[in-house]
Structure 1
Amino acid sequence: MSAPGSAASSVPHLDVDPFDMNFFADPYPTHELLRETGPVVYLDKWKLYGVARYAEVHAVLNDPTTFCSSRGVGLSDFKKEAPWRPPSLILEADPPEHTRTRAVLSKVLSPTVMKGLRDRFAAAAEERVDALLEQRSFDAITDLAEAYPLSIFPDALGLKPEGRDHLIPYASLVFNAFGPPNELRKEAIARSAPHQAYVTEQCQRDNLTPGGIGACIHAHVDEGGITATEAPLLVRSLLSAGLDTTVNGIGAAVYCLARFPDQWQRLRSDLTLARNAFEEAVRFESPVQTFFRTTTRDVELSGATIGEGEKVLMFLAAANRDPRRWDKPDSYDITRRTSGHVGYGSGIHMCVGQLVARLEGETMLSALARRVAGIDITGEPKRRFNNTLRGLDSLPVTITPA
C-alpha cells in the first residue's frame, strides 16, 4: 500500500510496527532506523506518517493548528470513527475549547498549589522510605513507584478511599487505547467497564472531598469557567495524567539509578540534583513513548509533503535520544541540561500532570538519597507492555541503609 498523494514517493517507506511486542521489548534499534531513514517516514503497516527526530517532533507538537488533537491523539480518527469514551477536554481538544479548559487546570495545579502540597508529599515519601528500609528487599515498582503516588495523589485529588485499585488499570487502559486495534488495545477495552464506571462515578462533585483538587475543578462551574458536564471530564483527565506518568517516571528513575551507581552516588552527594535526576530519567526512558496528531491541511515538513487528514505518529522517545539534539544521548547523566526534552510533550498540550510528577519524583528521590547507600537489582526486571507507555511491571531490588 503506497502512501496517499502524489508527493508520497518522496517520503521513505518502512516496514516496521511500532506497536509490536518485539518493538516494545527493545525499541532502540528501530528508533535509530526511524531517525536515520529520514526526517519524515511512512509506516506501511498502519498507513501513517512518522517523525522520530527531535526537530520534527518538536515542530509537530508546537503547531496545533496544522497538527490537531481533536481528531484523536491515538490512531483512531474521531472524524471517521466514534471515540471509545467521551474525548478528553485537554488531550483531545484544540483551541479555543482547549484554551478555556486548560486555564482551569492551570489554576488548580498552579505552582502555589504545588508548593502547598510539597510538605505533605515529602512526609509521605519519608514514610514510604521508612517502610522500605524495614523490608530491605522489595519490588521497586509495586512497593515504591506505584505505592507512593497512590498514597498521596488520590487524597490530594479528593477521592474516597475505597475502589482505588481501579486507578492504575484505568490509566493503563487509556494509554493502550491510543494504539491500533491490536491485542493490547482489544483486551484493555474489553476489561474496561468496571474501571470506567468507578472513574466516572468518582469524578462527580458529590463524591469528591471538599477542598481537594477535584472539588476545586468543580468550583469553576460556579464561576462560569466550565460547565457542569465538563467538570467531571476535567477531573478524569487528572486521574490518568497525574498517576501513570508519575508511576512510570519514578519507576524509570529508580531503574536508572540502580543501573548507574556512579549517578546514584552523585545524587547522594548533592541532593539538589533530585529533580534533575528524575527529569533525566524521563528523557532517558521516556515513560510516554508516542502520540499522534492529524493534519488539518496539506503541509510540508522538512521537505516532505503530507496531505490533509493524515495521521502523524511522533516518537517522543526517539526524539529524546536524538544525537542531533543531545550529547551522548544514550547515557544517563543527572547533571545534564534536560530542558527541552519532550517526555511530557511540548507546547499547549504539554502533560497536565507534569507538575505533580516532578514534585513526587523529586521528593521521593530526595528521601531515598538521604537514607539509602545503595540500590541493587536482585532479580530479572519485567516490562509492562502498553501501546503508549514504557515502564516496568516488576523490579526486584535490595537497598542498603546509609
Structure 2
Amino acid sequence: MQGVSQTTAGAAGGPGSDIDLYSDALLADPYPAYRTLRDLGSAVYLDRVDAWFIGRFRDVRSALNDWQTFSSAKGIGLNPIINEAWDEALICQDPPVHTERRKVMTEVLSPVALKPLAETIDARAAQLADRLIATGEFDAVKDFAHDLPVGVVMDLIGWPEDVRPRLLELAEGSWNAAGPDNAKMRSGLTQLGEMMALITEIYDNDRILPGGFAAQLIGHAHAGHITRDTAIGMLAGYIVAAFETTISAMASGIWLFAENPGEWAKLKERPALATMAANEIVRIEAPLQNFSRWCTRDAEMSDGTVVPAGARVIVSYASANRDERQFSDPDRFIIDRKEKQNLGFGHGPHGCAGQGLARMELTAVFSALAARVDRFEITGAPERALNNIARAFRTLPARAVAS
C-alpha cells in the first residue's frame, strides 16, 4: 500500500495522504487503507484524485443527511464526463427536484407495493436452493446470485426478454464510469454509453413490457410529469441499482457464510435472523463502496478538520461500515451483532430506494438455503471484479453440502 503523508490540502489545510484507492491492489482489498485514512482524520485530502475522503461513520452519516452542504447536484462521480452524462439520474439530484422524482420510484418500491411479490420471491428462492443442492458445485455469481434479480426483478421492471442478458452484462461495469480518470473508468464509460443507447432504443420504440415498474415510469413521462431524458436516466438507475448491487450482496453472502461456518450454524438454528444476516452482509461487504459529493460551503468535521467550499469529497459507505468507533469487531461477520444500523444502503435523502426489495430477496434466499444446506465450501480461487465504485466477485466457485 502506498504510504501516507501529512500534506497541506488547499487553503484550509488538514491531513493528507498519497494512498491510491483506485489501484488494483486496493480495489481488491480496500479495508486496511480505509482504516489508515480513518485514523488520519474525519476528512483526509487524497492528492492523487484531488478529493477529500470522509470515512468515519459519524461523519459519513452526517454528510449523507446534509445535502445542502454535501450536494449531489454536480454529480456523484470523480470525473466531469460521467457527471455530465448522468445529470438526469436520480442520484445526481438534490431536493426538491430529487424529492419529486423519487416519489415516482418509491411508489412502486414501497413495502406495500412489494408485499404481493413476497410469495413469488419465496417460491423462486426455494427452487434455487433445491437446484443448488442437486447441483452440488456452482458459481455463486452466475448460478446463484443472478437468479432472483434476473428471474424476478427483470419481470418486475418489465424489460423485454431479448435484451436482458445484454443489460445485465452492461450493468456490471457501468459503475466504473464514476471513478477517477483511469482505464477502468474509460471502459465503464463505453459500457455505460452502450447501456444508455439500448435503454433509449427500448424507450423510443415502446418495447417495455406492460404492467411493470418501467411502464409506470414511462407513463409519468408521457403524462408530462417528467421528461423523456429523466425517464431514461431513471430507467438506467433501475438497472445498476436493482441488479448489480443485489447480485454483489448475494454472492458475498455465500463467501461470508463459507468463511464463517459458525454464523451459518447460527442462522440454521435461528432462521428469523435472516433479515439481520442480510443487513450484516451489506455492512461488511458494501456493494457500493464510495460515492462523491460536491462541498458547497466550508464544512467542519467531527474532529475539527474543515473541508473547504468547492472541494470534491468521497463519502465512503464501506469505510464507515467498518469504523471501530461505531462497531465492535468491525471486520468480523456477525449476523446477530447488536449494532443494527449501517450505511450499506446509504442514508438520508439518497438512501437506496430499492433496499426493501433487496432485503426481501436476500432474506428469502438465505432462509431457503438455511433450511436445506448444512454448510458451504469454496472450491476454487475467487475472482474479484475490480471496480472503481462497486465491490463484487466475477466468479466464486462453491459447493452446497446438503443437511
TM-score by length of 2: 0.93
1:214 paired residue number: 214
Please point out which of 62, 73, 77 is paired with 1:74. 77
Specify the code of the residue in structure 1 equivalent to 2:310: G
- Count of residues in correspondence between the two structures: 396
1:26 equivalent to 2:29? Answer yes
Q: Contact 2:171/2:195 (CA < 8 Å) preserved in 1? A: no
Contact 1:76-1:83 at 8 Å conserved across structures: yes
1:184 aligns with 2:184: yes
Aligned position for 1:364 = 365
Q: Distance in 2 between matches of 1:255 and 1:100?
A: 39
Aligned residue for 1:348? Answer: 349
User: Retained in 1: the 8 A contact 2:177–2:187?
Assistant: no
Map Cα deviations across residues 141-185 of structure 1 (whole Å, 9 max, x no partner). Answer: 110012331111111101111121222333233311110011111
User: Residue 139 of structure 2 aligns with which residue?
Assistant: 139
Tell me the amino acid that sits aligned with residue 45 of structure 2: Y
Q: Which residue of 2 aligns with 1:339?
A: 340
Identical amino acids, percent of aligned pairs: 34
Distance, in Å, in 2 between the alignment partners of 1:167 and 1:89 is 17
Q: Kindly provide the amino acid, as one letter, of the partner of residue 25 in structure 2.
A: N
Which residues of 2 match residues 136-175 of structure 1 at below 5 A? 136-175=136-175
Structure 1 window deviating more from structure 2 (182-191 vs 253-262): it is: 182-191
Q: Does 1:395 pair with 2:396?
A: yes
2:15 to 2, 8, 12: 12
CA shift for structure 1 position 399 = 1.0
In 1, Cα distance between equivalents of 2:349 and 2:224: 22
Aligned counterparts of 1:174 and 1:60: Cα–Cα separation in 2 = 25
The SS at the match of 1:252 is: helix
In structure 2, the CA distance between the partners of 1:335 and 1:86, relative to structure 1 (3 Å rule), is closer
Unaligned runs of 5+ in 1: none
Pairing partner for 2:46 from 35, 43, 48: 43
- Structure 1: how far apart are the matches of 2:219 and 2:315? 36
2:4 aligns with none
1:308 aligned counterpart, secondary structure:
coil
Please give the per-residue CA displacement for 1:373-400, whole angstroms capped at 9, x wherever unaligned.
1111111111110000111111111111
Q: Deviations over 1:55-81 (max 9, x none)?
A: 11111111000110011111125xxx6
Could you tell me whether the CA contact under 8 Å between 2:8 and 2:15 is conserved in 1? no
The aligned residue for residue 284 of structure 1 is: 284
Q: Which is worse superposed, 189-198 or 266-275?
A: 189-198
Amino acid at match of 1:353: G
Specify the alignment match of 2:3 in structure 1: none
Instruction: Give TM-score scaled by structure 1 length.
Output: 0.93
**How far apart in 1 are the matches of 2:107 and 2:206?**
21
> Which letter does structure 2 place at the counterpart of 1:179?
G
Question: What is the alpha-carbon distance in structure 1 between the residues aligned to residue 165 and residue 48 of structure 2?
Answer: 36
Letter in 1 for 2:299: V
How far residue 288 of structure 1 moved from its aligned partner, in angstroms, is 1.0
2:199–2:235 CA contact under 8 A, matched in 1: no
* C-alpha contact (below 8 Å) 2:174/2:192 kept by paired residues: no
* Residue matched to 2:68: 65
Inter-partner Cα distance in structure 1 for 2:82 and 2:179: 15
Residues 299-353 of structure 1: per-residue CA shift (max 9 Å, x gap): 2223122222210111211110111101111111111245321111110001222
Is the deviation greater in 119-128 or in 317-326? 119-128
* Aligned residue in 2 for 1:304: 305
In 2, distance between residues paired with 1:271 and 1:55?
32
Whole-angstrom distance in 2 between the partners of 1:33 and 1:152: 41
Q: Could you tell me how far 1:118 is from its partner in structure 2?
A: 1.1
Query: For 2:66 and 2:174, how far apart are their aligned partners in 1?
Result: 24
CA distance in 2, matches of 1:117, 1:201: 29
Q: Distance in 1 between matches of 2:338 and 2:387?
A: 29
The letter of the residue matching 2:351 is M
State whether residues 385 and 393 of structure 2, in contact with CA within 8 Å, keep that contact through their aligned partners in structure 1. yes
* 1:73-152 matches, cutoff 5 A: 73-77=76-80, 83=83, 85-152=85-152
| 192 and 294 in structure 1: CA distance in 2 versus 1, 3 angstrom threshold | closer
**2:311 maps to amino acid:** E
The Cα shift of 1:269 comes to: 1.3
Q: 64-73 or 203-212, which moves further after superposition?
A: 203-212
Give the deviation of 1:191 after TM superposition: 4.4
CA distance in 2, matches of 1:381, 1:30: 21
Label 1:87 to 1:166 Cα distance change in 2 as closer, same or farther (>3 A).
Answer: farther
Structure 2 counterpart of 1:316: 317
Letter in 1 for 2:73: S
Q: Deviations over 1:260-308 (max 9, x none)?
A: 1111111111211111111101001111111111011222223122222
User: Aligned partners of 1:273, 1:204: CA distance in 2, in Å?
Assistant: 45
Deviation of the 1:243 alpha carbon = 0.9
CA contact (8 A) 2:290 2:316 kept: yes
Q: Which amino acid aligns with 2:107?
A: K
Range with greater deviation from structure 2 (148-157 or 299-308): 299-308
